[in-house]
Homo-oligomer: A and B are copies of this chain.
Amino acid sequence: MTAIAERPHVVIAGAGFAGLYAARSLRTAPVRVTIVDRQNHHLFQPLLYQVATAGLSAPDIASPIRGILRQQANTTVLLAEIEHVNPNHRCLVLDSGELAYDFLILATGSTPNYFGHDEWAQHAPGLKNIQDAFEIRRQVLLAFEAAEREPDTEKQRAYLTFGIVGAGPTGAELAGILREIAQHTLARDFRNFDPRSTRVVLIDAAERVLPTFPEPLSQKARVMLETLGVEIQTSSQVVDIDESGLTLTSTAPLATAPERISARTVLWAAGVKASPLAESLNTPQDEWGRVYVESDLSVPGYPELFVVGDLAHVDRDDQPVPAMAPPAIQEGRHAANVIQAVLRGHPRTSFHYKDRGMLAAIGRRAGVASIYGRSFSGLIAWFLWLVVHIASLIGFRNRLVVLFEWSWAYFTYQRSAAESPEIAYEHNE
C-alpha cells in the first residue's frame, strides 16, 4: 500500500448527504480524501423543520463531521468557505487558499428558490440550515408574543396568521406542526387571545398538496391537514410578499381577483435552486442552476469531476430526480464507486436512481407514504415515517442511548457510563 500522502487526492465539496456518503464509500479506497464544508456539522435536513418548531434540539439532528469520519484514517476534514472551482487547473479556490485535486465530488447542495423574487427572502425565510431553523423558531414565538401585546383585533389577527408557501412534504409537515402547537402546546399560555384561533394557510401553485405523491394520498393528506385546522389554498400563485402579508392569484382556468392574506409570518417551502458554485464550472445548467451530468455523474469534458446531490440534474423517465436525501445518498455513493473503478482500471458505470418511495408526516399522529408503489396513510404511514427517519440518522442512535442514560441518571441518582450526551456520544461513535 502506498503512503497516504502519495495517493490520489479526492476532494469532496460539501458534507450534506451526497458528500458525506461519498466520503464513507471511500473509507477503504487507496485514496487520500479531503472533505470541505463551511459548517462543522452534517445536518439531517429532513427533520430540520422540527428544530424550527421547537420539537427537537439542534444537536439531535446536527452531528460534527469530524466525529462522523474520525475512524476514517484516509480522510481529512477542512472547515472552509469555497469561493469557486477551477476545473481546468483541477483545484478548489477556498477563502484560505487553493486546494488541488485529482478527483472532485461537488456536492454543495441548494438554497431556497424564490423564482426570481429574491426580495421575498427577507419576509419569507426558507429552511436550509440550523440558523434558518432558529430564525423561524424565533419569528413564530415572537409572533405569539406580539399578538399578546396587540390591542387592535385586526392587527392581532395578522400576528396569528401563518402563511406557508409550498405544500410539498416540508410545507405540509410545518403546517401540521404549527396547528398542533397552537392547539395544544400554547393553548393556555396567553391571556389576551386564544392560540387555538391561529390560522395556518398552506399555499401551492399545484392543484393538490404533496403534488409529487400519488393523487389518492394527496387527497388523504388534504383531509388530515384540514382536520388539524390548516386552511389549504392550492392552485394559488404567490404574486407578492411583504412584511404585512402576501397576495395570491388563482392558477385555475376561471381567473378570480387577487386575494390578499394579512400574515406577519410567512415561511417559504416552495422549492430549491442549485448552489451558485455550479456557475464556476462553465457547463450547461438547467433553469434552476443544476448541472447536466453524464450518466456516470461526471461533468462533460471533465471525467475527474463529479456533481452529485441537489446540485446535479439527473434524469429519470424524463423527469429530474427530486432534491431529496435518498437520491443524494445514492449519487454520492455512485461517484465514489466510479472513482474506485477508474483507479482499478474498470469501466465507469451509469447511475440509476432506485426510488423506494416517499413519506410525509402530517401533525403528530398521521401521515402518508408511498413505498415501492404501495400507498399507506394514517397512523401506519406515520409509523413508517418514524422508522425510516430513525434508521437514516447517522450516529444519532448512539446519542439517543446516551440521552436515555443521562435521563436515567438524573432520576435514579445513579451514575451511568455517560454524564453528557455530547461527550459520551463522541466516545461511542
Task: Name A residues whose Cβ lies closer than 8 Å to a Cβ of B.
Answer: 40, 50, 54-60, 64, 66-67, 70, 76, 78-80, 96, 141-142, 145, 148-149, 180-181, 184-186, 188-191, 364, 383, 386-387, 390, 397, 400-401, 403-404, 406-411, 413, 415, 419-423, 426-427
Chain B residues within an 8 Å CB radius of A145: 40, 79
19 CB contacts below 8 A, A to B, read A54-B59, A55-B419, A55-B423, A56-B421, A56-B422, A57-B58, A57-B421, A66-B186, A70-B188, A76-B191, A78-B148, A79-B145, A79-B149, A185-B426, A186-B426, A383-B415, A390-B413, A403-B406, A404-B404
Known contacts A66-B189, A70-B189, A189-B67; A410 and B390 CB within 8 A of each other: yes
User: Which label, helix, strand, loop or mixed, suits the secondary structure of the A interface?
Assistant: helix
> A41 to chain B: closest CB distance in Å?
10
Chain B residues within an 8 Å CB radius of A419: 55, 364
CB distance A410 to B427 under 8 Å?
no
CB distance B427 to A413 under 8 Å?
no
CB distance B55 to A422 under 8 Å?
yes
Chain B residues within an 8 Å CB radius of A186: 66, 426
CB distance B404 to A400 under 8 Å?
no
**Nearest B-chain residue to A390, judged by Cβ:** B410
Chain B residues within an 8 Å CB radius of A76: 191
CB distance A181 to B423 under 8 Å?
yes
Chain B residues within an 8 Å CB radius of A189: 64, 66-67, 70
Known contacts A55-B422, A57-B59, A423-B180; A413 and B387 CB within 8 A of each other: yes
Chain B residues within an 8 Å CB radius of A96: 149
Picked from B40, B55, B420, the residue with its CB within 8 Å of the CB of A420 is B55
Minimum-distance CB pairs A-B, first 6 = A55-B420, A404-B407, A57-B57, A66-B189, A79-B145, A400-B407
> A59 to chain B: closest CB distance in Å?
5
Chain B residues within an 8 Å CB radius of A191: 76
CB distance A185 to B423 under 8 Å?
yes
> A74 to chain B: closest CB distance in Å?
10
Picked from B50, B78, B184, B420, the residue with its CB within 8 Å of the CB of A149 is B78
CB distance B184 to A423 under 8 Å?
yes
> A172 to chain B: closest CB distance in Å?
17
Known contacts A188-B70, A383-B415, A397-B410; A40 and B141 CB within 8 A of each other: yes
> A146 to chain B: closest CB distance in Å?
9
Chain B residues within an 8 Å CB radius of A423: 54-55, 180-181, 184-185, 364
Chain B residues within an 8 Å CB radius of A58: 57-58
Chain B residues within an 8 Å CB radius of A40: 141, 145
Extra contacts, 4 of them, besides A57-B58, A184-B423, A403-B403 (Cβ < 8 A), are A64-B189, A79-B148, A79-B149, A386-B409
Chain B residues within an 8 Å CB radius of A386: 409, 413, 415
Chain B residues within an 8 Å CB radius of A406: 403
CB distance A411 to B422 under 8 Å?
no
Cα separation A189 to B419 with both chains bound (whole Å)? 20
CB distance A420 to B66 under 8 Å?
no
Chain B residues within an 8 Å CB radius of A422: 54-56, 185
Chain B residues within an 8 Å CB radius of A184: 423, 426-427
**Nearest B-chain residue to A4, judged by Cβ:** B191
> A94 to chain B: closest CB distance in Å?
10
Cα separation A427 to B181 with both chains bound (whole Å)? 11
Q: Interface centre among A67, A180, A401, A403, by most B CB within 10 Å? A: A403
Chain B residues within an 8 Å CB radius of A411: 397, 400-401, 404
> A152 to chain B: closest CB distance in Å?
14
Chain B residues within an 8 Å CB radius of A421: 55-57
Cα separation A400 to B189 with both chains bound (whole Å)? 21
Known contacts A66-B189, A189-B66, A423-B181; A407 and B407 CB within 8 A of each other: yes
